[in-house]
Structure 1
Amino acid sequence: MKKLLKSRLFSSFLALIMTLGLITVKTKEVKAETEDQIVTSEANIEEENNKAALEKGSVDITILHTNDTHGRVKADSSIIGIDTISAIKKSINNSILVDVGDTLHGLPFATMNKGEDIVALMKLAGYDVMTPGNHDFNYGYERLLELADMASTGLNSFPIISANVIKDNTTLLDANYIKEVDGVKLGFFGLTTPETAFKTNPNNVKGLEFASPIESAKKQVEELKAKGADIIVALAHIGTDESSEIVSTMIAKEVEGIDIIIDGHSHSNYPTGFEADNGTLIVSTGEYGANLGQVIITFNKDTNKITNKIASLIPKATAATQNPDEIVAQKIEEINEAQNAILSKVVGVSKVVLDGARENVRTGETNLGNLITDAMLYVTGAEIAITNGGGIRATINAGEITKQDVVSVLPFGNFIVTKYLTGAQIKDILEHGVKDYPATAGHFPHVAGINFVFDAEKAPGERIVSIKINGKDIDMDAKYLVAANDFMAAGGDDYPHFKDVKTENEFQALDEALEEYIKYLGEVNYSKEDRIAVGKAENPVENPEETEKPEEPKNPVENPEKPQDPQENNEIPGEGNELPYTGGNNPMYLLSLGLFITAIGSLLIVDRRKKAAEK
């Protein structure tokens, strides 16, 4: 009987211990959960307070930007239009509107009054600052100075700046400019590509020096910081073309302290920009006013730091939802009326589209390039004609050809010259023209009077494998009368030999020669004629433009991450790398264990009673 009582007491005690254990565990869990909630709540309150303090001292500033419009300020199916750009700028608080060049020259609308109409429209539109590109020197640097003076005087004035264009040991234009917005000082400095020395007529920049953009940028960052600039922005007509010696990414790498580089020259399209070295954001809109760039900068005035930079592009379709600025639109109409009578004159008809697309004329033969060089032969009587693809600026659609179409294709006012060159010099010139193929390059040649084949797999300078004139191999020692435009004749696009050979004669402007030749033909029906072929001398490829070309630069990513294979780390897809679940905060397993032990104890008691009864 005593043994039975002891067993009952033991079982009851064990059950009690288990129950107390459950209560203790649960109490600790509730307490821990409560403490965690208190800590989390306090952290959330602190985070919200910090966020509120940050927002209290922060200001958003929007920089709107344009580049490489080449006189395309009038809206059409693909161009936003400066009247709409003006309206967008005026609709955004704390906004700044800037331009990074190749703006004052281009289409006839710009060239008819040598850039003055473009400056007038930019002032009305509310531009705050601009840096000149190489083509803004096309009227000569003296005219650029006149345009800069027009821009910086009177109502709605703005400066045209560049830190690396030097004359007589000083900058030709103001080097930098500070604009204060809502108490924040934005320091801008301008950079113009050194390629301007040969990417405008060299006579236009005679006496000028184009200093190193990198060294100039270093000086400007120091100077702007000394002036109290909170944010530093480079307006850089530099570009990211592989064929350029200096590109904007090099500037970002070598120069600390530049927050943003607003880029031009290479016509690059970066929808969200990209972060280069030293945390510099590089942005660019593409070309011809198809997009308006936008950078929203969040700046904390308490900490005096940028807390965020967001870049985007406003495309034509989005911009079209904004009503144009009426004052700017009215000014455009005034200019149109003065020009339409001249430019609307029909000069001929084309049965085909005449291809002047940038990506085609800078990489291969096109029917428009053939038409232009044939026109050069027609007006000069030369044996050979060569012109650079970078000078061909537009396509002519099938149908009536107007004077405006002609001037849009050849807007630079270049005239034709003739020079005697040897066969060996002509080969050197063609080698220079194709040295960067398949990259797009303004110095890619278009020709008449000759056919040539080049091997793109050979080293630059050794690519020409065949040159024929009237079906016969060129004589390297003989001299040939060559027609070229005055830009190339003066060493433009860095072409060799031309500037070292005396000029035999000068002729009318390229656009005038083309117009005359179109009138002579009456009806234009041109095609490619395999004047330029890529391949081996024995087996040339007929259509060079069909060779694969590199895409436009995308946002560079040095080490893109590939999607990780879950099996590489023996992971279960969708789950982390935690150890397998073997327990937790749920006390049910303890309760089950307690009930099991209680049941065993009861069975032991029953069994002992039976044995006692048998005795």
Structure 2
Amino acid sequence: MNLRNGLLVASIALALTACNDSDVAAPEAVAAPVDVKLIAINDFHGNIEATEGITLTSPDPKDPAKTIKTTVGGAEYLATWVKNLKAKNPNNVVVSAGDLIGASPMISALYHDEPTIESMNALGLEFNAVGNHEFDDGSAELLRMQNGGCHADKVGCADGKFDGAKFKFLAANVQDSKTGKTLFPAYLIKEFNGVKVGFIGMTLKGTPGIVTPSGIAGLDFKDEVETANKLVPELQKQGIETIVVLLHEGGITTDKKYNECNGISGPIVDIVNKLDKAIDVVISGHTHQPYNCKINDKLVTSAYQYGGMVTDIDLTIDPKTRNVTKMSANNLAVTRDVPKDAAQTSLIEKFQKLVSPLKDRVAGTIAGALTKTATKAGEMPLGRVIADAQLDATADKSTGASQISFMNPGGVRAELTPDAAGKVTYGQLFTVQPFGNTLVTMTLTGEQIDKVLEQQWNGAAVKIMQVSAGFSYTWDKSKPDGSKIDIASIKLNGVAIDPKASYRVTVNNFMATGGDGYLEFVNGKNVLGGPQDVDALENYLKKNPLLAVPNAERISVLN
């Protein structure tokens, strides 16, 4: 072997030795994608108890021309559905897009929604964005929901204490007016296999217009888009590229198919189209609609209402870039063909025993179902009855000498259906009017009545007040906001109201303080407080056994 060949053989030998040396790094392993499951609800409104009133309508697979109505919901079943979904992926998080509490059935509302907080603790909820109804009883009460402690009226704390929510409320766009600090954290982060996911929680910026002003005193509600987009860089600085927004604002679709998004409209569309491209998922609510959308390359979902549906969302995240590479969602009906969750059953039975004596008491009789089905003009049979009951409760001089009563449509929360004998219970009445509002009688001029009626239209928001018997008017659909009503059409007992004359008018305290945008009520004079709204309704039914369904229209519409 010559020198040249000898050097070549030696070089090859050295190279082979180097390749087998344990000190040489092996090729870097490619990290596996991280799969994350989001389990979402919205607009639960304290519906822990399984009732017959929460239903979903779907096409009949045997005959598409027909529909099938399925009874859904109840915390006992919802908890099982959530547990089964969690079992499919240990990388999971349970979230809510607001209105978890407020406008709740009696079983929860009577105890200041503490039962719902305890139910969600047991279910494993981790994050809840505040909704408008979280502010029904003010920010101090909402903070108690988070931090615990007994209510000042001593009702609640069934076990002698209330520890508050184990989950976290989020409120990125709700700030203290003086300090600028958010009422709750703007966002929280959860890590899955080394990958961090950010959760931003917000309510609709229009919350002040639909909540009793005293409930949001000292708070500012910021724009949803500006708030979320400002937080994106802050999250990215922490290495977070997967961002989920829990937003209590929503839209409406044309066909109500649970896993489609046909013809979606409403605030959610404009909001999502303006959100930063780094935001991946928007879990929405407020409109109580089920939908499953792709808008602006983002997954946008809503899971109906009252725990009757849950959204199963799957994300696949690249651990290197931390970006979402794949995402999908499926709205699932919370059917009652699964086992009941024992912890939820125990909790519900405890509160059922406490409330049943009051809840099951017969409150009156009616001749037929009082529905929320509205006429073209916006009237509901049940709305008419509530307005009549309020007028009756305040018609005496000692209670206000009222001549007219108005009821906000959003305050009519459920229909009133009697049993075979026509009986309805106090629990049913409470479900119809669960806010514990009190009646307020004030003096308004005819001009002020005309002005407050015009305030029923506020852009996209239309909130036709229910009116008492003897009061009538006509509105014109073709006219612009602020000019829809000819004051000459406004009549009391068939006589046109006098713009300069004074009239005694009854509303609830929510409306009296400008709630739902009826701002002219704030300017009422000679204000006198009255009984609770639900008590007024019960007394009216007792005075009028087998009350007939009032079908005569009081409001008419042109065009």
* 1:214 and 2:225 aligned: yes
* 1:148 and 2:164 aligned: no
**CA–CA separation in structure 1 for the residues paired with 2:163 and 2:548:** 50
Deviations 1:503-548 (A, max 9, x none): 5210011111111111111222122221011127xxxxxxxxxxxx
**Greater share of strand residues, 1 or 2?**
2
Deviations 1:398-417 (A, max 9, x none): 33110011110011111110
Secondary structure class of the residue paired with 2:94: strand
Secondary structure class of the residue paired with 2:200: strand
Give the letter for the 2:478 counterpart.
E
Secondary structure class of the residue paired with 1:504: strand
Deviations 1:458-515 (A, max 9, x none): 2121111321111111211111111011111101011131112235210011111111
What is the aligned partner in structure 1 of residue 244 from structure 2?
Answer: 233
Secondary structure class of the residue paired with 1:497: helix
What is the aligned partner in structure 1 of residue 544 from structure 2?
Answer: 521
What is the aligned partner in structure 2 of residue 378 from structure 1?
Answer: 392
Shift of 1:87: 2.1
What is the aligned partner in structure 2 of residue 316 from structure 1?
Answer: 334
Conserved 8 A contact 1:161-1:175: yes
TM-score by length of 2: 0.80
* 1:486 and 2:509 aligned: yes
**CA–CA separation in structure 2 for the residues paired with 1:323 and 1:304:** 38
**CA–CA separation in structure 2 for the residues paired with 1:396 and 1:269:** 24
**Inter-CA distance 289–446: structure 2 relative to 1 (3 Å threshold):** farther
Give the letter for the 1:187 counterpart.
G
Conserved 8 A contact 1:186-1:232: yes
Shift of 1:90: 2.4
- Any unmatched runs of 5+ in structure 1? 1-52, 537-615
**Greater share of helix residues, 1 or 2?**
1
Secondary structure class of the residue paired with 2:185: coil
* 1:388 and 2:408 aligned: yes
Q: Tell me which of 323, 330, 340 is aligned to 2:346.
A: 330
Which structure has the greater CA radius of gyration?
1
1:96-135 to structure 2, matched below 5 A, reads: 96-106=93-103, 107-135=105-133
Shift of 1:235: 0.7
Moved more, 251-260 or 474-483: 251-260
How many residues end up aligned between the 2 structures? 474
**CA–CA separation in structure 2 for the residues paired with 1:305 and 1:135:** 34
Shift of 1:95: 2.2
What is the aligned partner in structure 2 of residue 347 from structure 1?
Answer: 363
Secondary structure class of the residue paired with 1:259: strand
What is the aligned partner in structure 1 of residue 318 from structure 2?
Answer: 300
Give the letter for the 1:223 counterpart.
E
Conserved 8 A contact 2:171-2:185: yes
**CA–CA separation in structure 2 for the residues paired with 1:296 and 1:288:** 23
* 1:455 and 2:476 aligned: yes
Shift of 1:265: 1.1
Percent identity for Structure 1 against Structure 2? 31
**CA–CA separation in structure 2 for the residues paired with 1:214 and 1:434:** 25
* 1:195 and 2:213 aligned: no
* 1:82 and 2:82 aligned: no
Give the letter for the 1:266 counterpart.
T
Shift of 1:124: 0.5
Secondary structure class of the residue paired with 2:477: coil
Conserved 8 A contact 1:390-1:441: no
- Any unmatched runs of 5+ in structure 2? 1-27, 53-70, 150-161, 254-264, 396-401
Deviations 1:110-149 (A, max 9, x none): 2111121111110001001101111111111110001011
Shift of 1:338: 1.0
Shift of 1:303: 4.3
Q: Tell me which of 396, 418, 437 is aligned to 2:441.
A: 418
Shift of 1:337: 1.1
Conserved 8 A contact 1:362-1:389: no
**Inter-CA distance 305–137: structure 2 relative to 1 (3 Å threshold):** same
Q: Tell me which of 161, 169, 174 is aligned to 1:160.
A: 169
What is the aligned partner in structure 2 of residue 287 from structure 1?
Answer: 305
**Inter-CA distance 223–83: structure 2 relative to 1 (3 Å threshold):** farther
**CA–CA separation in structure 2 for the residues paired with 1:448 and 1:224:** 56
Give the letter for the 1:328 counterpart.
Q
1:482-561 to structure 2, matched below 5 A, reads: 482-535=505-558
Give the letter for the 2:221 counterpart.
F
**CA–CA separation in structure 2 for the residues paired with 1:368 and 1:154:** 38
**CA–CA separation in structure 1 for the residues paired with 2:458 and 2:208:** 19
Conserved 8 A contact 1:385-1:449: no
**CA–CA separation in structure 2 for the residues paired with 1:453 and 1:155:** 49
Conserved 8 A contact 1:390-1:443: no
Shift of 1:221: 1.7
Conserved 8 A contact 2:413-2:432: yes
Give the letter for the 1:90 counterpart.
K
Secondary structure class of the residue paired with 1:178: strand
**Inter-CA distance 72–363: structure 2 relative to 1 (3 Å threshold):** farther
Shift of 1:156: 8.2
**CA–CA separation in structure 1 for the residues paired with 2:423 and 2:476:** 38
RMSD: 2.6
What is the aligned partner in structure 1 of residue 47 from structure 2?
Answer: 72
Deviations 1:573-596 (A, max 9, x none): xxxxxxxxxxxxxxxxxxxxxxxx
**CA–CA separation in structure 2 for the residues paired with 1:98 and 1:289:** 12
**CA–CA separation in structure 2 for the residues paired with 1:380 and 1:177:** 49
